[in-house]
Amino acid sequence: MKETKIILSDKEIPKKWYNIMADMPNLPKPPLHPGTKEPIGPNDLSAIFPMALIEQEVSQERWIDIPEEVLDIYSLWRPSPLFRAHRLEKALNTPAKIYYKYEGVSPAGSHKPNTSIPQAYYNKQAGIKRIATETGAGQWGSSMALAGNLFGMEVTVYMVKVSYGQKPYRRIAMETWGATVHASPSAVTQSGKKALEADPDNPGSLGLAISEAVEDAATHSDTNYALGSVLNHVLLHQTVIGLEAQKQFELVNDYPDIIIGCCGGGSNLAGISFPFLRDKIHGRDLRVIAVEPASCPTLTKGEFRYDYGDVAGLTPFLMMYTLGHDFIPPGIHAGGLRYHADAPLVCQLYHDGLMEAKACHQMGVFEAALLFARTEAIIPAPETAHAIKGAIDEALLCKEEGKEKTILFNLSGHGYLDLQAYADYMDGKLSDYEYPDEKIKEALSKLPVF
């Protein structure tokens, strides 16, 4: 019997997160206040974030302790298994060794609870009673609902109205974990009311949902806001993925030549790659590849400059590869990758040549997803399938070149709640879409210049 899973015991869950800011050759430029355009300080953030998370946001300590209470909850699904993809390798007839770290084992089905749990914990410690957040299709909202519930906190989720209606399952999951879910725009906030007055049939957008959640948090003293990607502390929490993978590779006496993650905001890619990137920064030969959709090619076609983190322009300016904050990506099935920019940490590392990026088309991504489901049995989320596509491409290159490389990718979530996308693909209803360069230029031309 071949060894398929490399597993660790509860005792081997990492006790510290790894902060890549301690090792980066160049730190990201600081976030700027949207009014003064001066670097923002901790006080600017304290209205909506607890101080412990603000400290993590700016910390340059290499190792940050994971609280005992967070470890207790992590142990419900962590350490997650590392799989050797024997069947996929065989189907590709590649000399490459393909490994994947499976984060879909979390109760919410993705890597998102790695950060929703500590975010709920630190807010609870700070005396906060309620978390307001936004969600698109519901992957982040359900993870935050789960986390709030486990710490006995209320969670209010503003869910983009079109998803609220069309994708009821993740909404029901949020409610099952006790959260209150509003279709956004809602009549609960001023931002929502204003949008509804202008157009009662407004289908909502992530930008509007963010506005509602931030307004809710800013106008209730017992309530904070939580974000599922982009920020430094979110990426920090995700490093448990890569830290576990390092131990698992030690157990099989191997080390990846190539690490691949899909990239929307960048948190799952950061999670699996940052601990290994530390080795690369110190000289190790290693490639890290961000795979993004050709319909939202932020790293591959965006510009590295200051932009707002949200569509509505409520957040600080962040230094990112961006397509412009009013860029509206087409409605591809990988909803979690439809973000106009990327996390500042990921952007800086990409800028400094420590990461690569490639953009993939939707049809090729679903072809890869189907091959994976039919060889490795797990049905992946459409977002995750971008990483699979990236891994398959590299494995086929190894075959061409006759090289036995070791490839690791992050299987960041399962696709149980995304099966309609598979039906659409199999029924020939999907197509490729590449965002036209001229449209990107136009969106970027509207950005302020610093």
State yes or no: residue 107 binds a second copy (CB under 8 A): yes
- Report yes or no: 334 and 369 within 8 Å, Cβ to Cβ: no
Closer to a second copy by CB, 216 or 418: give it. 418
Q: Does 40 bind a second copy (CB under 8 A)?
A: no
Burial class (CB in 10 A: 0-12, 13-18, 19+), 261: buried
CB nearer a second copy, residue 20 or residue 391: 391
Q: Out of 38, 331, 416, 429, name the contact with a second copy by CB under 8 A.
A: 416
Interface mask toward a second copy for 371-410; x: CB under 8 A: --xx-xxxx-------------------------------
Cα distance between residue 145 and residue 126, in whole Å: 18
Q: Of the ranges 89-97, 332-340, 392-400, 417-425, which one interacts with a second copy (CB under 8 A)? A: 417-425
Q: In the chain, helix, strand, coil percent, each to 5?
A: 45, 20, 40
Q: How far is the CB of 134 from a second copy (least distance, A)?
A: 21
> How many residues can be counted in the chain?
450
Decide: 142 and 111 in contact? Cβ < 8 Å: no
Interface with a second copy in residues 332-371 (CB under 8 A): 370
Structure-token match 């991504």, residue found: 365
Number of residues that bind a second copy (CB under 8 A): 47
DSSP 59: -
Does 173 help bind a second copy (rule: CB under 8 A)? yes
Write down the least CB distance from residue 125 to a second copy, Å.
Answer: 18
Q: Which of 344, 355, 96 is nearest to 236 (CA)?
A: 344
Centre a 10 Å sphere on the Cβ of residue 149 and count the other Cβ atoms it contains: 17
d(CA 66, CA 240): 10
**Minimum distance of a second copy from residue 266's CB (angstroms):** 26
CA dist 210 and 357 (Å) reads 27
Give the count of beta carbons closer than 10 Å to the beta carbon of residue 38.
10
Segment interacting with a second copy, rule: CB under 8 A, options 70-78, 300-308, 313-321, 355-363: 70-78
Amino acid at 368: A
| 166 scored as a contact of a second copy (CB under 8 A) | no
**Residue 150 near a second copy by CB under 8 A:** yes
Instruction: State yes or no: residue 423 binds a second copy (CB under 8 A).
Output: yes
Output DSSP code: residue 301.
H
Q: Could you check whether the bond before residue 168 is cis, i.e. omega within 30 degrees of 0?
A: no
Residue choice 59, 125, 149, 180 for contact with a second copy (CB under 8 A): 149
Binding status of residue 168 toward a second copy by CB under 8 A = yes
Considering only the C-alpha atoms of the chain, give the largest distance between any 2 of them, rounded to a whole number of Å: 64
Position among 51, 126, 172, 371 found at the interface with a second copy (CB under 8 A) = 172
- Which listed residue (26, 60, 166, 176) binds a second copy by CB under 8 A? 176
Binding site for a second copy (CB under 8 A): 1-5, 7, 9-11, 13, 68, 71-73, 75-76, 83, 86-87, 105, 107, 109, 146, 149-150, 168-169, 172-173, 175-178, 370, 373-374, 376-379, 416-417, 419-420, 422-423, 426
